[in-house]
Amino acid sequence: MYGELKDAKRQLAAMEAAYLGGWLLAERELLNMAYLYLANDTPYKAARVLEKGIEAGQVEQSATNLELLGIALRQARENGRALPYLERAATMSNDAEMWARLASLQLDEEANEAAVAAARKALELGGGRRPDNARVVLGTALYNLGRFDEARTAFTEAGRDQRSR
């Protein structure tokens, strides 16, 4: 009811009470709870709902759900914990955008070799929404590894897009 009235705070409070009371058992209900937490800037709670749901077998370990969990953990600044979920999601889906997101997170965590591999996979699959960003990530990871000629090539290719010039 609160959702229909666009009263997000009360909607979250009512759903959280139902969740804490153990009344939310279906995957759809748990995913809705996670999305509500994310919409209300509480990504850690969203991640916990998803983790517990996956552990209990209530939430399917699909690429989409694992990606959502990884994104929630990343927003909660739990990058190290987000990596395995995003790696599994990218592998399962073979989606360029997921591979690009994974490469960016790996770069943030200074896993440069892994970032190079993930960025190349993203580009192989089309680069996602922003192939230029995937090339910037690739170039930065290569630069960090001291592979300057390859990095220059990646940056030059990224510079062909006005947004990354």
Q: Tens of pLDDT along 6-64?
A: 777 888 888 899 999 989 999 999 999 999 999 999 999 999 999 999 999 999 999 99
Tokens at 56, concatenated: 């209990």
Task: Identify the pLDDT of residue 92.
Answer: 94
Task: Identify the pLDDT of residue 163.
Answer: 87
Q: Whole-angstrom Cα distance, residue 142 to residue 140?
A: 5
Tokens at 24, concatenated: 């939310």
Task: Identify the pLDDT of residue 11.
Answer: 84
Q: Tens of pLDDT along 82-112?
A: 999 999 999 998 899 999 999 999 999 999 9
